[in-house]
Every structure is written in structure tokens, then in C-alpha cells.
Chain A
Amino acid sequence: MPLPKQQDVRQIEGVLNEVLSTKTPPVGRCRLLSSGISPTHALNITENIVGHKECLGCGNCIDACALLAREPARRLKTEQRTSMALESTVGEECDLCYACVLVCPQVDTTIKDYIVNRRMVEVTSRLEQLTGGEPDLDLFFEEAVDGL
């Protein structure tokens, strides 16, 4: 639930790109680059938490992770649902699909916009290369029917 005036991406573009290119779930570091909790939060507490950047433990990133969906056994490692848990279960095998960043309530919308506009286009083809995309069944049909 970031501040109304959020992080200006132009000021952190270099480090953000570094974070987004490193093969490990980027959500935690994107959260730390964000502006933190806004004063309009609806939590019934007296403590001043405005600007705090901790993980809320909502587990959105765990649920959104494509790698954990493919390999659910990795989830057995821990019951925690924090970004730290995501990093320890996924590690360097991260697809860099950025789904975890987009679903994190603590990441600034400016950063999410940057990812969608500047990084996702490049990601789609890379992910297809990774998974191979959908198989072209026509090729098999041709191979069978019209062998050389």
C-alpha cells in the first residue's frame, strides 16, 4: 500500500534494472526500492508505520510464482509465505517472469508500470524459449502423413 507520492523510477533505473536482471525472485528488492506503507492504511494500530517497507507476509508472490506452480514440491521446504521464503525456495532458477513483483502490495505502482512497459515485452519471448512454447502438432501430423 505505497505512498501517494511514489518512487521516481528514473532515479533508481540503474539499480532496478540490475535487480530485474539478476536470476533470483526480484520482489523483495523491488519492495525495498519502493516508498513503503502510506498514511492512509486501514490497520487499527497506534504505532506510526508510514514509510515502513517490511514484507506483509500476504503470500501473493508465492501463489503467483510460475516455477512453484510447476514444481510444487519446492513449497514443502517452508510454510512461510514471505518474499524471503520465495527467494529461498526458488533461488537462482527464477524464470524472471516478474509475476511476484506485480502482485506484491508493497511495491510501488511506478515500478510495476516500468516492468510492464519496459521489461515484460522482452520477457515473453525469453520465457517461450525456456519452456519451448506450445508444441506445433501440425508438424507431427505432417511428419507422419507426408514423410520425406
Chain B
Amino acid sequence: MDFELPEDLKMVQGLARDFVREQLRPLERDLLGRAADLSDARARVAAEDEAKLAAIARELGLWAAAVPEEFGGGGLGTLAACLIAEELAQSVVPFECGDVTPLLFECNEGQREAYLKVAVSGAKAVYLGIVEPGADFPKMAASARRDGGGYVLNGRKLVFSRSAAEFLAVVFAASREGAATAFLVDQGTPGLSVVSRQAERGWRAAVRQPVVLVLEDCRVPADNVLGQEGKAFALGRKWLPGRRIVRSARSVGAAARLLEEASTRAQTWQSFGRPVSERPSVQGALAEIAASIHAGRLMVYEAAARADRGEPVGREAALARLFTAQMAAGVASRVAAIYGGPALPPAPGGGISLDVLKHLIAADMLKGLKA
């Protein structure tokens, strides 16, 4: 039982920490705007800034760090990915650092160059069309009809990533009753259109509207089937539980930033002639926040270390996700109370809280699914 991070992982953590502190945080003020209600906040940093950030991340070796080496990534393990995600979550600047959905790791030899390599290099964003409007997941109305040497796709898919100029899509569609097949659909395929109502400005910009992929008699060759026909949900089995741990790490990072903001606020804000930090209720709240963050972090690291040892982590990943999502939401509401009232604390805490809120919404959606 060793709770000390190995030296190499400490270096990764240090790199990510410096990257966030020196590159991402200076952009926050500009991104969040001047208005207290975030009405002039922007959804993303300027394109040239984003390109600059990507170049620096590549240089540091943080780009696509968790993608296996044979697919053109850094080949670091789950724990390293957690450390990086934890640091990146400590900023409101949306920067994904070359993260690619592991469903694409299932590309066969012929698909790797055109899809996986392109996605890992960051040239194209990946739209993951799994969920549908009005459909009861995992049932899906989108259909794939076999036609000659290919398939004809019809239906609508919701994509929850940020809209991008260049993209490729992974679309789940029912090729026969009760069997979903995953298809690689490139931008510009006839019959594929995109409806995006994502706000670029204002506080709503942080709460993403899904992009809708509309498929109307969209014809794709049989070579574009990802994995096996009818076995879409067998994809990524090796990697998906690990992703859940990395997501948990993100909640921990967001909560840690909230704690940092809250303690600064408590030390600088005065009420009735003395700093808020001297009030026992605030001290107690900060201590409880710190304790819950520490607990969440230990859960995440333990699960990640297990994953890196090659052990099954289904249970540990689910436990970590459950705890950290609720923990982060609890921290956000307590921090709001320390800030003195409004449900959403002012920037930059506000932006982080919205992110946390999104985690919670996802958790609630999951609960609704199970009910």
C-alpha cells in the first residue's frame, strides 16, 4: 500500500498544473467577460488562442496523453489521465487536450488513417451520436437499412460536444430490431446535416445545447461500420470503465478549484468588521469541503491505479463517479453559501459551478434511466 505518486506521474501532474496556471487561467477573465451575471461571457476562447494552446500542449506531451501509442497518442495510463483531467478541470477555459472517445480505438486497419489518426491529431472533432431526441435509450429510432454494398442511415442524433467547424461523426443506428451498429460518417457525406443552436455568448453558453445530427437517406459504405455489425454496444469495452474514472477526476478538480476560490473569498470578504474566514460556520464548511475533496481524490486514484494494474474496475469506477459527482455538486452549493447568497457564485467560481451542475445533470439523467 503506497499512497505516493511515482516520480514520472508527479512530473505529468506538475506539467499539467503549470499548463493550467500559466496558459489557461490568464484567459479566464477574458472568457468570462466583465458582467457579474456572465451575460457577456463567451463559450470558447478565440480560434488563434486555441491553436496556440494546442501547440503548447503538444510540446509538453499533454496532447492525447491517454491515447495508446499505437494510435498516435502519449500512451499514458489511467492514473496519468486522471491527474491531467483533474488539473484541466481547475479552469473554466474549455480545452480538451486532444481527448478522443475510446470507441474510435476500435477502428480497423483501413479506418485508422482516415478517422482515428485525424481525431487524435485534433484536425477534426468527434461527434458522438448515441442518444436521440425523444427516444428511450438504448432503444433508437435511427435506422440503418442494408442497401447493396452499404447502408442507408435515417434518423436524428443528439451530440453533446461543442460544435466544431470540422468534424467526423460516430453514429449509432439500429441495423435490425434490437441491434445497434456504429457507423463512421464523415463531414460532407450526402444526407448528413447538422443543426446547432449553441449559444456563443452569455451565461447560457456554458450550458451546452446539443448539436443535432440529421441523417436523411445518408448512404455510407459497409467499410464504415465501426466494429461488428449489430454489436455497437460491445465497442470500447476495454477502455470505457477507465473513462468513467477520468471523468470522476474532473469532478475532483472542479471541486478543488471551488475550494480555492472559496477560501480566497473568505479571507478577503468582510462582514460586520471582520473577515468571513473567522466565522466558525465558514471554517466548518471549508473543512468539510476539503475533507470530501480528499475522499473523492483517494477514490479516484485508487480506482485508476487498479485500472493501470489491469484489474477489472467496473465497480470502483461506478463508486468513484457516484461519489465525486455528488461531492462536486455539494461543494458548489456550499461555496455559493460562502460567497454569501446567490445560487451561482460570481466568476470564475460561477463558470466552474455551471460545469459541476452539468455533471450533476448527467448523473440525474442516469438515475432517471434506471428508475
Contacts and interface: CB of A to CB of B under 8 A. Distances in A.
A110 to B, nearest CB: 34
Contact of A135 (B99, B234, B244): B234
B138 interface: yes
A140 B240 contact: yes
Interface size class of A (residues with CB under 8 A): 10 to 19
Nearest to B317: A139
B240 A143 contact: yes
B160 A145 contact: yes
Contacts of B131: 141, 144-145
A136 B314 contact: yes
Contact of B160 (A132, A139, A147): A147
Q: Is the interface of B mostly helix, strand, loop or mixed?
A: helix
A142 B358 CA distance: 12
A130 interface: no
B323 to A, nearest CB: 15
Interface stretch (B13-21, B288-296, B362-370): B362-370
Given A145-B131, A145-B160, A145-B362, A140 B138 contact: yes
Give the size category of B's interface with A. Answer: 20 to 34
B25 interface: no
A61 B141 CA distance: 40
A148 B234 contact: no
**Which has the most chain A C-beta neighbours within 10 Å: B99, B130, B358?**
B130
B246 A148 contact: yes
Interface string A56-71: 0000000000000000
B244 A144 contact: no
B96 interface: yes
Contacts of A137: 137-138, 233
Nearest to B128: A144
A136 B237 CA distance: 9
Nearest to A147: B161
Interface in B233-252: 233-234, 236-237, 240-241, 243-244, 246-247, 250
Contacts of B237: 132, 135
Interface in B203-254: 233-234, 236-237, 240-241, 243-244, 246-247, 250
A146 interface: yes
A132 B246 CA distance: 22
Contacts of B159: 144
B121 interface: no
B107 interface: no
Given A147-B101, A147-B161, A148-B96, A140 B233 contact: yes
A142 B130 contact: no
Which 8 pairs show the lowest CB-CB distances between chains A and B? A144-B130, A135-B233, A139-B240, A146-B362, A148-B99, A137-B138, A147-B161, A145-B362
29 contacts: A132-B237, A135-B237, A136-B240, A136-B241, A136-B314, A137-B137, A139-B241, A139-B243, A139-B244, A140-B130, A140-B240, A141-B131, A141-B137, A142-B247, A142-B321, A143-B103, A143-B128, A143-B130, A143-B236, A143-B240, A144-B128, A144-B160, A145-B131, A145-B160, A146-B160, A146-B247, A146-B358, A148-B99, A148-B246
